[in-house]
Amino acid sequence: MKYVLDNVESQFEMFQILNEDGKIVNKNSMPDLSDEELKELMRRMVYTRILDQRSIALNRQGRLGFYAPTAGQEASQLGSQFALEKEDFILPGYRDVPQLIWQGLPLYQAFLFSKGHFHGNQFPDDLHALSPQIIIGAQYVQAAGVALGIKKRGKKNVAITYTGDGGTSQGDFYEGINFAGAYKAPAIFIVQNNRFAISVPVEKQTNAKTLAQKSVAAGIEGIQVDGMDVLAVYAATQAARERAINGDGPTLIETLTYRFGPHTMSGDDPTRYRTEDMDNEWEKRDPLVRFRKFLESKKLWTEEDENKVIEEAKEDIKQAIKQAEQQPKQKVTDLIGNMFEELPSNLQEQMEIYKEKESK
Amino acid sequence: MAQMTMIQAITDAMRVELKNDENVLVFGEDVGQNGGVFRATEGLQDEFGEDRVFDTPLAESGIGGLAIGLALQGYRPVPEIQFFGFVYEVIDSISGQMARMRYRSGGHHTAPITVRAPFGGGVHTPEMHADSLEGLMAQQPGLKVVIPSTPYEAKGLLISAIRDNDPVIFLEHMKLYRSFRGEVPEGEYTVEIGKADVKKEGNDVTLIAYGAMVHACLKAAEELEKDGISAEVIDLRTVSPIDYDTVLESVKKTSRVVVVQEAQRQAGVAANVVAEIQERAILHLEAPVLRVAAADTVYPFSDAEEVWLPNHQDIIEKVNTVINF
């Protein structure tokens, strides 16, 4: 009998362009980005790191609600988003708010999503995306559908969706990649492997050595990428996008990353399942530090640039939280009114009851 | 006018809408060349091409997700779940996702999806194929749940469902697929979702049912007539939302009510109907509102289903109880 597992797993070596010292180790794969674009990538990562810090603080002050910290995952999130076109469709998981913001979601609406206000999800018409999915993996099957729709419409676009390492254990993960594969639909499936599904380490999640190899079963392209290297993530997503719009089908991209913070701000304590050594080990791979070193070596980034972004982010956040807080409180009548195009009689009756209650 | 079985009427409805709107897509397990295991999609792929009518991989959750994604690209998906007993595999896509799409996005996205599925019992299927899970769906806000009982209504309601801009669960009773023919107009016409139909007028007692049980009620009413009892039969046609105007009008006329469902007694649509009647019309009642329903067991293996399923004699028994109360 012939066993194949070792052969399969050995094919999924991590793709990297910048090493931890910010040095290019894979010159041939260096994406074709202008200096301005490289600086923009850095600007977005710094901005998003500040947004994360401020969101955590605002959550602690009770001014934001549900929040899933993003620090550590900027390269995975923003490197992949940077490869998208405006008409591409994003199906994010709950930690993937930064991609929506950089694709055009106004910051105050991101805050409203956190505060549990439906206006946060009333996206601008030119933002092609769903609001963050809460059910793990549900967005994967939907992404197959969006991608098939894009293909049927003959558009040169992709559907891109995100889940985590835990998400790859869901049936919907496999159904999503398999459907997209069967229809050769233009989908990009990103798995941000941050090593923990809340507290369960990836080693307990699966016997697979890589998550990228799960693509093999569905017969689609797969790659494991250094998720702390923004250039590698960008290059992989860009290549996947090219394949997809050329009709070559979907790609599964596993990004190896780490969330520096807790799972969410709702009482998770990472010290219960992670060691300080592990945290320190991964902080050395901080995507911002690495990319900053690279840009500094090319004389593209200065402390002044950095401070300018920090100030800009802080100011935007201040304005956005103010705007979010000025939003009128969501009413039950809003909720009733958004259940159906036309209200059935039971809801009409309940609408009257709540109109009365809310007028007091 | 053409005489059709219910399944022919259902195929015809899809044909009309596939022709009428290029955004309509029909898909599911075996719906392509095979025409569906019940032949509900017979000939549609040949007529409209594989781009419009196509097979899916064998995964119900995937089918639900596919429908949602296609709807997000402006399509009007009509997925088939091969047997509604398999719906547990796709509950998140239906209840967690489609039903919430409009609210979650504040009206920005909608899910104009019609999920079709055969359901109900009495045709000796293997386990998990037959069941009456409409109560499960009716409990989910954001869904409409439609159950036709005649070929005419099946076509008109399905066309309405496909045109609806919100998700509709369209349940087709397996026993009604080929048990009789009825007149079905050619071309397009609609039957309004959310409107009940008085299938037979009467003065002494109101029988409320849907799906196959409408026919059990009509049979019971025929026999009761011989004993001088005049029964009115209401076909709900939509079990979410329920047309209480029609129900209450009849209740006020007859003052005696029996609600009939093929599903198990616990929870369920009939319980909801009884509750609304007593809240809204208790002073019009001359007797408690009774239910005819199946036992609170899981759906039985086929050898026991004839006894387990409610029938016209069970209905007659309950009618006599409310008449003699």
Structure tokens at B154: 């099946």
User: For residue A6, what pLDDT is reported?
Assistant: 85
Q: Is A344 on the interface with B (CB under 8 A)?
A: yes
Contacts B75 to A, Cβ<8 Å: 149, 152
Report whether pLDDT(B91) > 80: yes
Contacts B49 to A, Cβ<8 Å: none
Residue B249 belongs to a domain: yes
| Integer Cα distance of B150 and B83 in angstroms | 19
**CATH 3.40.50.970 location in chain A:** 4-329
- Interval B262-312: pLDDT, tens: 999 999 999 999 999 999 999 999 999 999 999 999 999 999 999 999 999
pLDDT grade for B93, boundaries at 50, 70 and 90: very high
DSSP state of A28: G
% of chain A beyond a pLDDT of 70: 100
pTM of the model: 0.97
% of chain B beyond a pLDDT of 70: 100
- Pair B160, B271 in one domain: no
B232: closest CA among B249, B287, B146? B249
Average pLDDT of chain B to the nearest whole number:
97
Residue pair B281/B254 in contact by the 8 Å Cβ criterion = no
Residue pair A131/A167 in contact by the 8 Å Cβ criterion = no
Ramachandran category for residue B160: left, alpha or beta (phi over 0 → left; psi -120 to 50 → alpha): alpha
- Pair B47, B131 in one domain: yes
Report whether pLDDT(A2) > 90: no
Q: Residue A160's beta-bridge partner residues?
A: A90, A188
- Pair B178, B248 in one domain: no
| Integer Cα distance of A5 and A183 in angstroms | 26
| Integer Cα distance of B198 and B206 in angstroms | 10
Question: What count of Cα atoms within 13 Å lies in the side-chain half-sphere of residue A119?
Answer: 17
Quickly list DSSP for A86-151: TTSEEE-BTT-HHHHHHHT--HHHHHHHHTT-GGGG---TT--BPPPB-STTHHHHHHHHHHHHHH
Structure tokens at A254: 């596993």
- Pair B154, B59 in one domain: yes
Contacts B160 to A, Cβ<8 Å: none
User: For residue B51, what pLDDT is reported?
Assistant: 98
Residue B76: closest C-alpha in chain A: A149
The total of structural domains in chain B comes to 2
Judge if ipTM > 0.85: yes
Q: CATH number, domain at B256?
A: 3.40.50.920
**Sequence letter at residue A348:** Q
B42: closest CA among B8, B6, B2, B81? B8
- Pair B227, B82 in one domain: no
| Integer Cα distance of A331 and A329 in angstroms | 6
* Last residue in a domain, options B150, B184, B218: B184
- Pair B47, B136 in one domain: yes
- Interval A6-60: pLDDT, tens: 888 888 999 999 999 999 999 999 999 999 999 999 999 999 999 999 999 999 9
Tokens 């260096």 appear where? Answer: A30
Report whether pLDDT(A101) > 90: yes
| Integer Cα distance of B213 and B236 in angstroms | 11
pLDDT grade for B1, boundaries at 50, 70 and 90: confident
Binary contact (A122, B56; C-beta < 8 A): no
Q: Are strands B231-235 and B257-264 parallel, antiparallel or unpaired?
A: unpaired
Residue B171 belongs to a domain: yes
- Pair B177, B31 in one domain: yes
Tokens 């599911």 appear where? Answer: B28
- Pair B263, B314 in one domain: yes
Binary contact (B102, A338; C-beta < 8 A): yes
In chain A, count H helices and then E strands: 15, 7
Quickly list DSSP for A291-338: HHHHHHHTT---HHHHHHHHHHHHHHHHHHHHHHHHSPPP-HHHHHHT
Residue pair B13/B159 in contact by the 8 Å Cβ criterion = yes
Tell me the three state secondary structure of residue B12. helix
B77: closest CA among B69, B67, B87, B90? B67
pLDDT grade for B74, boundaries at 50, 70 and 90: very high
Residue B161 belongs to a domain: yes
Residue A154: closest C-alpha in chain B: B73
> What is the domain range of residue B202?
197-324
Residue pair B260/B291 in contact by the 8 Å Cβ criterion = yes
- Interval B198-240: pLDDT, tens: 999 999 999 999 999 999 999 999 999 999 999 999 999 999 9
Residue A336: closest C-alpha in chain B: B103
B83: closest CA among B142, B125, B143? B125
**Sequence letter at residue A101:** I
Residue pair B158/B114 in contact by the 8 Å Cβ criterion = yes
Residue B36 belongs to a domain: yes
Partner-chain residue, chosen from B75, B92, B142, that has the shortest CB–CB distance to A135: B92
- Pair B139, B252 in one domain: no
- Pair B6, B65 in one domain: yes
Q: CATH number, domain at B42?
A: 3.40.50.970
Q: Is A116 on the interface with B (CB under 8 A)?
A: no
| Integer Cα distance of A316 and B206 in angstroms | 65
Distance from CA of A126 to the nearest CA of B (A): 11
- Pair B158, B204 in one domain: no
Residue pair B68/A145 in contact by the 8 Å Cβ criterion = yes
- Interval A162-197: pLDDT, tens: 999 999 999 999 999 999 999 999 999 999 999 999
Report whether pLDDT(A347) > 90: yes
* Last residue in a domain, options B133, B153, B184: B184
CATH 3.40.50.970 assigned to A4-329: yes
Binary contact (A179, B57; C-beta < 8 A): yes
Report the b/e string of A141-179 with b at 16+ CB within 10 A: bbbbbbbbbbbbeeeebbbbbbbbbbbbbbbbbbbbbbb
DSSP state of B94: I
* Last residue in a domain, options B184, B208, B232: B184
Coarse DSSP helix, strand, coil percentages of chain B, rounded to the nearest 5 percent: 40, 20, 40
| Integer Cα distance of A187 and A240 in angstroms | 8
Query: Rounded to the nearest 5°, which phi and psi values hold at B40?
Result: -70, -25
Distance from CA of B301 to the nearest CA of A (A): 28
- Pair B25, B171 in one domain: yes
Contacts A149 to B, Cβ<8 Å: 69-70, 72-75
Q: Is A140 on the interface with B (CB under 8 A)?
A: yes
Structure tokens at B325: 């109360």
List CB contacts of A262: < 8 A, sequence separation 6 or more. A69, A268, A269, A270
Structure tokens at A141: 């099957």
User: For residue A1, what pLDDT is reported?
Assistant: 72
Q: Is the preceding omega at residue B148 within 30 degrees of 0, hence cis?
A: no
Q: How far is CA B232 from CA B116, B193, B203, B257, in A?
A: 29, 21, 6, 9
- Interval B176-192: pLDDT, tens: 999 999 999 999 999 99
Residue B6 belongs to a domain: yes
- Interval A291-326: pLDDT, tens: 999 999 999 999 999 999 999 999 999 999 999 999
Contacts A118 to B, Cβ<8 Å: 103-106
Binary contact (B245, A345; C-beta < 8 A): yes
